[in-house]
Structure 1
Amino acid sequence: MPHLTVEYTDNLAGLPGQQLLAELNAVVCGHTTVQDEADVKARLLPLSCFEIGTAPAQRGFVHVQLRLLSGRSDAVKKELSDAMAAVLHRLTPQPPGMLVQLSVEIADMDRASYYKGRL
């Protein structure tokens, strides 16, 4: 824990994927509620098969989901969400004529049933 997943439509030409992932990861790792940076697992998933609404328009999206062990306050979740949204706004390209949607979701993982081990 935490788990950071970034999904994006692959029609966003010029998205700096590795930089985006590194900067989002740095936001999470740098937060005071994250004790060990090695606990943050991040992944970037391009989507080649997607639908956005029903209109035949050029559209794309970037969605970030951060899964954290339950127990953090709404204020902490909002801080993390706002900081990650700022990174998305700065690094996501907007191709001409394309509507690009950005979203961030903070989700709780059940602390009682979550398992994590190290080898």
Structure 2
Amino acid sequence: MPNLTLEYTANLPAVDLAAVLAECNRAAADSGQFTEIDIKSRAVRVDDFVIGTEAGDRGFVYVTFALLDGRSPEIKRDLSQRLQSVLQKHFIAPPGLTLQIAVEMRDMERASFIKVTHTG
């Protein structure tokens, strides 16, 4: 734990997603809240999307950061800001496109979460 899912719309300029995810993982690890090997991230391209009701060139980057419950709102806010900083550095709106970049912290119930690690 935690799990980071980065969703991004297909109309955004290409970025080095592996580098973005690695930097997000470093930002999370630097918070002191997690062991680095426990941070898992992935990127999902969204080809079909609608933003709002008006016509216009629009896109989004949305990170969901799922972590075990029990952390304070201040810790979650710090994590959100760390991730938002990484995203804003890598995702730049091209001329004419409105880009929304958001981070959501999602608590996972610690009592029911199970993880097993195998090393070969």
Q: Which runs of 4+ in 1 moved over 2 A?
A: none
- Please state whether the residue corresponding to 1:13 is helix, strand or coil: coil
CA–CA distance in structure 2, aligned partners of residues 52 and 97 of structure 1 = 15
Partner of 2:15: 15
TM-score (norm. length: structure 2)? 0.94
- In structure 2, give the amino acid aligned to 1:31: S
Contact 1:7/1:47 (CA < 8 Å) preserved in 2? yes
Instruction: State the AA in 1 paired with 2:13.
Output: A
C-alpha distance in 2, partners of 1:19/1:107?
Answer: 23
Measure, in 1, the Cα distance between the counterparts of 2:73 and 2:33: 13
Give the superposition deviation at 1:15. Answer: 2.7
Relative to the length of structure 1, the TM-score reads 0.94
Unaligned runs of 5+ in 1: none
After TM superposition, give the deviation of residue 65 of structure 1 in Å: 0.8
Matches within 5 A, 1:1-119: 1-34=1-34, 36-119=35-118
Q: Does the CA contact (< 8 Å) of 1:14 and 1:93 recur in 2?
A: no
Distance 1:118 1:15 in 2: 31
Q: CA deviation at 1:13?
A: 1.3
Distance 1:24 1:41 in 2: 10
Distance 1:50 1:22 in 2: 26
Structure 2 unaligned spans of 5+: none
| 8 Å contact from structure 1 (residues 15, 93) kept in 2 | no
1:14 Cα offset (Å): 2.6
Whether the aligned pair in 2 keeps the contact of 1:69 and 1:109 (CA below 8 Å) is yes
Instruction: Indicate the RMSD between aligned Cα atoms, in angstroms.
Output: 0.9
Of all paired residues, the percent bearing the same amino acid is 41
The aligned amino acid for 1:103 is: A
